[in-house]
Amino acid sequence: METNKKEIVWSIKALKDLKKIYEFNILIFGEEKSFEFIIHLMNEVNLLEDGFVAIGLRYKSKKHPVINYRKLVSYHYIIIYHTKDNEIRIDKVFDSRQNPNKLKL
């Protein structure tokens, strides 16, 4: 049986985004809840791994218009990703409460 499973690869930028989200949420909710929230975001991304890469809405980048980005929305965070070969590359995790002009991808 052939599988559609793809490997998830987090960019350095996306990992830094997760770290910032974690550290910010610690101040508001405490360490345990912040950790649970990061796990929730990562579980959302894991849905992509099982071949559901098209569940995200299309996202058009001004900087890289030829890359077919997609976005998942979880709470008020936008997870930007694209596929390449057998990989799903997580490019950015962005807080949608910010000015959208700050999202430079």
Domain that holds residue 39: 7-97
pLDDT, block means (10 residues), the chain with 105 residues? 74 96 94 94 87 80 86 92 91 87 74
The token pair at 42 is: 């990562």
Contacts of 98 (CB under 8 A, 6+ apart): none
Is 50 exposed, middle or buried (CB count within 10 Å of its CB: 0-12, 13-18, 19+)?
Answer: exposed
d(CA 82, CA 90): 7
* pLDDT at 55 (0 to 100): 81
Confirm whether 1 is domain-assigned: no
Confirm whether 2 is domain-assigned: no
- List pLDDT tens digits, range 60-70: 887 888 889 99
* pLDDT at 90 (0 to 100): 96
Number of domains in the chain: 1
Confirm whether 103 is domain-assigned: no
Q: What is the CATH number of the domain that holds 12?
A: 3.30.2310.20
Confirm whether 102 is domain-assigned: no
Confirm whether 82 is domain-assigned: yes
* DSSP single-letter state for residue 42: H
* pLDDT at 3 (0 to 100): 54
Confirm whether 42 is domain-assigned: yes
d(CA 27, CA 29): 6
* pLDDT at 41 (0 to 100): 93
d(CA 11, CA 55): 20
* pTM for the full predicted model: 0.85
